[in-house]
Amino acid sequence: MPTTEALSAETADASRFDGNLTELEYLALASSFNLADGHARQELTPGQSKVVGELPGLWAEAVMRPVDEIEEEAHRAFFHLLGQKSYPGADGRVLACYSSSVAMEIFARALVAETDTIALVHPTFDNIPDILRGVGLRLVALEEDVLHGGDLPAELLAEVGAIFVTTPNNPTGKVLSRERLARLAAQCAETGVVLALDTCFRGFDVAGQYDHYEVLEASGCRWVVIEDTGKLWPTLELKIGWLVRSANVGLPLAKVYSDILLGVSPLIMLMIKGLAEDAADGGLADLHEFIATNRALVRANLDGIPGLTFVDPDSRVSVERIHLGERLAMDVWEKLRAHNVYLLPCAKFHWANPSEGDHMLRIALSRSPVSLDVATRALRDVLLGE
């Protein structure tokens, strides 16, 4: 992984840390109290352990069977688990990538062949704006209340070649409803704007599990969806980011894909299939309960601290935001670091206006309850000035 020294040597002003969220996450990787990144780091359940124990057998299966067959079984198990019965699995419109960020990079590179401007939900995880800007796109901020409030302004649609929405959003947990998606897709169909969705966190929230593909296909709009297995299960970074598209999308997605990869591992595909089957068999409900219990633990440990509020009361995703009142997130972050506890200050999520996040921290919930308990007690002590 990159060291802080290597990263700060690349910035113009090495005297202050001005890194992105992922760079803050690198710092946390070696800590036992890493509540920074949104990856799943809790213990495997017995059902998941069984799949991991079968890896040598899955390897033998992957060697014997045609890879296209394995690939189809994997995406069918995963997409159906999340209610996506209408996804276009049969005709090569589902591209398996090493991760959702690789899918994002491929989408961005294909999109910039056609347009130079994209509207992006605000706030959202900062590697999305960074990848889009990195390929040369200009970004227009789409505030969450505008996105969820009703039809988008005609001027916005006229200004951009694409709209990018993370749903459920990271860090807010806000979900695009079926009704809003249908209207958004209709507006995109009318104007020829590409509608891109990042649904990486939808596994945590049944509100995000209605059949998006049915809505998108019915609209006739040009669309792209990025699905992700990476946030759900503690699979040591073994994951698949799926890049799915409409038949009419008109972007060179398969071409850019072919520049980057031949395919993801059939071993990972079989593992994902096994985990999706376990999830369908009760594991997903257990996961929802696990996250809800962890969220309740965090809220209980931080209860009654003057000035502290929980920003997203209805969120179901595996992260929780807190507002620190007058306190600055970076000050709290520094103090927690001395206790070897890592959270994520929220400024960078507000990619168009970082100061909006200056007083918020994000806490990852996909952790063992013990480390979550110890870390949030340390946070409580810091906030109470002990």
x/- letters, 285..324, toward its own copies (CB under 8 A): ----------------------------------------
* Minimum CB–partner distance for residue 347 and its own copies (Å): 16
For its own copies, the closer of residues 133 and 299 by Cβ is 133
- Rounded to an integer, what distance in angstroms lies between the CA atom of residue 75 and that of residue 67? 12
96 binds its own copies (CB under 8 A): yes
**Least Cβ distance, residue 234 to its own copies (angstroms):** 8
x-marked contacts with its own copies along 189-228 as a string, rule CB under 8 A: ----------------------------------------
Residue 47: other Cβ atoms inside 10 A: 16
Minimum distance from residue 36 beta carbon to its own copies (Å): 10
Per residue, the 3-state secondary structure of the chain, as one string, reads CCCHHHHHHCCCCCCCCCCCHHHHHHHHCCCCEECCCCCCCCCCCHHHHHHHHCHHHHHHHHHHCCHHHHHHHHHHHHHHHCCCCCCCCCCCCEEEECCHHHHHHHHHHHHCCCCCEEEEEECCCCHHHHHHHHCCCEEEEEEHHHHHHCCCCHHHHHHCCEEEEECCCCCCCCCCCHHHHHHHHHHHHHHCCEEEEECCCHHHCHHHCCCHHHHHHHHCCCEEEEEECCCCCCCCCCCCEEEEECCCCCCCHHHHHHHHCCCCCHHHHHHHHHHHHHHHHHHHHHHHHHHHHHHHHHHHHCCCCCCCEECCCCCCCCEEEEECCCCCHHHHHHHHHHCCEECEECHHHCCCCHHHHCCEEEEECCCCHHHHHHHHHHHHHHHCCC
33, 39, 169, 246: residue in contact with its own copies (rule CB under 8 A): 39
Q: What residues between 250 and 269 interact with its own copies by CB under 8 A? A: 252-268
User: Rounded to an integer, what distance in angstroms lies between the CA atom of residue 220 and that of residue 353?
Assistant: 34
Could you say which of 146, 182, 186, 238 contacts its own copies (CB under 8 A)? 238
Among 17, 47, 55, 310, binds its own copies (CB under 8 A): 55
User: Least distance in Å: CB of 239 to its own copies?
Assistant: 9
Q: Which of 15, 16, 63, 155 binds its own copies (CB under 8 A)?
A: 63
Give the x-and-dash track for 124-163 against its own copies (CB under 8 A). Answer: ---x--xx--xxx---------------------------
Note whether 229 binds its own copies by CB under 8 A.
no
String marking each residue 97-116 x if it binds its own copies according to CB under 8 A: -xx-xx--x---x-------
Applying CB under 8 A, does 366 fall inside the site for its own copies? Answer: no
> Which residue lies nearer to its own copies by CB, 147 or 257?
257
Nearer to its own copies, 116 or 303 (CB): 116
Distance CA 277, CA 272 (A): 8
Task: Establish if 47 lies at the interface with its own copies (CB under 8 A).
Answer: no
Q: Is 14 in the site for its own copies (CB under 8 A)?
A: no
Supply 111's token pair: 């999109």
List residues binding its own copies (CB under 8 A). Answer: 1-3, 5-7, 10, 19-20, 22-23, 25-26, 29-30, 37, 39, 52-53, 55-56, 59, 62-63, 66-68, 71, 91-93, 95-96, 98-99, 101-102, 105, 109, 127, 130-131, 134-136, 235-238, 252-268
